[in-house]
Amino acid sequence: MKTFDGFMAGVNLGGWISQFREANKEHFTTFIVEKDIKQIASWGMDHVRLPIDYMVIEDDDNPFQYKEEGFAYVDQCIEWCEDNNLNIILDLHRAAGYAFHSLKENRLFEDEVLQQRYISLWQAFAKRYKDKGRHVVFELLNEIVEPNSDRWNALSKRAVEGIREIDQNRVIIIGGNFYNSVFTLNELNPIEDNNLVYTFHFYEPHIFTHQRASWEPLLKDLEFVVPYPSGKDTYKKYLEKSEEFKKRYGFTFKELVDKEYLRSLLQPALEFAKERDVMLYCGEYGVIENVPMEYNLNWHRDMCDLLLDNQIGRAVWSYKQMDFPMVDTHSIVRNEELVKIVSKR
C-alpha cells in the first residue's frame, strides 16, 4: 500500500478555529499557542490536522470576500508547524451551507451559489499557499452525510479542478460519505490525479468510543460501562437495552470486540486502497474522556497498531477539550502512556 509520508502520527486541533465555543479574538489567540505546537512536536508526532470553519474566513453577509484576520490564524499555525518540523492538514470542517452536526440545515448540495462559494474558498486557499511545499495539505470537507455519494462525487471533482487551476501539485484529501465511513470509500468516483489521498474516520464500536456522550440520546444515560476488549457479558446487557438501541448500534457491536474485530472493520478501507492503488489516511479516531483510562489505552493501543501495521497515517481526536482530549485546559498531558501510544510512528 502507498504510504502518506510525513503524516503518520498527528493530532487534531479541534475547538480552535472550528467548533469553537466563542467566536472572539480572546479565544482565537489563546486556545492554541506556539507552546502547544512545540509540545506536539516534542511527543514525536509529525503533523497536525487543523479543522477550519468557513465563518472564520468568510461572512455570509459578504460572500466571496475573505477576512485577513481569519487567514492570519491559519498562517500563524503553518508558521509554528514549519518552525517545529511538523506538517499540517488544512481541513475545511464546515462550509457555507454544510455542517456535519446540523444536517437539517444543509443546503450546499442543492444550491449552486453555495457550491461556487465552496470552490472559490478553496481557490483562495490555493492562491495563498501556492508557494508552500508538500508539508501543507488540503482536506476538502469534513464528514459528508448524504443519501448517497452522487452529489459529493460531483462537487469534490469540481473542487479538485478548481484547486488544480491554481496549484497542480498540492496534496488533496477526500473522504467518503456518512461521516467518512470506511464502508463508503468505494462509492467515490475515481479522479485521475496523482496527488490525492483518501481519508476515513474510525470511532468503532461507537457504543464504546462514545459511551455516555451528552449529545447522543441513546448513550448519554447508559447504565453500564462498556469495556475494551469486551465479551459476552457486555453484549448481553447491550441486547437487553432496547430494540431502538440494537437498531442503531448493532452493526458495529458484536459478542466479542477486540483487536481482531477492529481489524475486520478496517477491511473495506484496505480493500479500497489496494484496488485503487491509492494512499489512505485516518483523519480522526479516539475515545471519549469519561471511559476508564485502562479501556481507553487498550483501544488506542490496538487501533494504532493496526494502522501502523498497514502503513496508514492518522490524527487522533483531539488535542484539547472536545470531550476527547490529550491535554487539559492548561495544556497539561492527561496521560503520558496515551500520548506515547498515539504518537508512535
Is 192 one of the catalytic residues? no
> What single letter denotes the amino acid at residue 8?
M
CA distance 185 to 49: 20
Residue with grid cell 498562517, as numbered in its chain: 75
Burial class from Cβ neighbours inside 10 Å (0-12, 13-18, 19+) for residue 23 reads exposed
CA distance 293 to 274: 35
CA distance 220 to 198: 32
Q: Point out the catalytic residue in the list 284, 289, 336, 337.
A: 284
146 backbone dihedrals φ, ψ, rounded to 5°: -135, 160
The CA-CA-CA angle for residues 201, 233, 208, to 5°, reads: 20
CB atoms within 10 A of CB 171: 23
Residue with grid cell 494502522, as numbered in its chain: 307
Alpha helices in the chain (DSSP H): 25-30, 34-42, 68-83, 112-128, 150-164, 177-180, 206-209, 232-239, 243-249, 259-276, 293-309, 336-343
49 backbone dihedrals φ, ψ, rounded to 5°: -110, 120
Q: 298 with 214: CB under 8 angstroms?
A: no
Is 284 one of the catalytic residues? yes
Residue with grid cell 491535554, as numbered in its chain: 327
Task: Write out the three cell numbers for 1.
Answer: 500500500
Q: 25 with 72: CB under 8 angstroms?
A: no
Task: Write out the three cell numbers for 106.
Answer: 444543509
CA distance 2 to 340: 25
> What single letter denotes the amino acid at residue 34?
E
Burial class from Cβ neighbours inside 10 Å (0-12, 13-18, 19+) for residue 300 reads buried
Q: Point out the catalytic residue in the list 58, 139, 143, 146.
A: 143
| Residues carrying an active site annotation | 143, 284
